[in-house]
Structure 1
Amino acid sequence: MASSAVTPGGLLKHLALVEDQYLSVRLLGKKPAPPRDAVDRYAEPDWEWSSAAGDPPERLYTLWTEAVLRSRANLREVLAESDAGRLAAFTTRDGRSPSVRRLPADLIEEYARHVGHADLIRASVDGRVGEDPPEGFRPRTT
Structure 2
Amino acid sequence: MQTPAERIPALLDGPPVDVTDPRELLLGYLDWYRDTLIRKLDGLTEAQLRTPVEPLGWSPLGLVRHLGWVERRWMRWGFVAEDVVAYPPDDEAEWRVGADEPVDAVLATYRDEVRRSRALAAGAVDLATPSRTGGRFRTAEQAPALGRILFHLLQEYARHVGHLDIARELIDGTTGE
Partner of 1:11: 63
Contact 1:24 1:30 in 2 (8 A): yes
Of residues 149, 173, 176 in structure 2, which corresponds to 1:103?
A: 149
* Structure 1 unaligned regions, length at least 5: 132-142
Partner of 1:49: 95
Partner of 1:66: 112
Of residues 113, 127, 135 in structure 1, which corresponds to 2:159?
A: 113
* Structure 2 unaligned regions, length at least 5: 1-52
Which consecutive segments of 4 or more residues in structure 1 shift more than 6 A? none
Q: Identify the structure with bigger relative contact order (alpha carbons < 8 Å, sequence gap 6+).
A: 1
Instruction: Give % identity.
Output: 28
- Looking at structure 2, the residues matched to 86 and 108 of structure 1 have their Cα atoms a distance apart, in angstroms, of 18
Partner of 1:135: none
TM-score normalized by structure 2? 0.60
Q: CA deviation at 1:38?
A: 8.5
Contact 1:13 1:48 in 2 (8 A): yes
Contact 2:165 2:175 in 1 (8 A): yes
Contact 1:6 1:49 in 2 (8 A): yes
Of residues 37, 56, 76 in structure 1, which corresponds to 2:122?
A: 76
Task: Determine whether 1:85 maps to 2:119.
Answer: no
Q: Deviations over 1:1-57 (max 9, x none)?
A: 85232111101111111111111110000022xxx56843xxx1221212x143221
Q: Deviations over 1:50-74 (max 9, x none)?
A: 2x14322101110111001111111
TM-score normalized by structure 1? 0.74
Secondary structure, in 3 states, of the residue corresponding to 1:46? helix
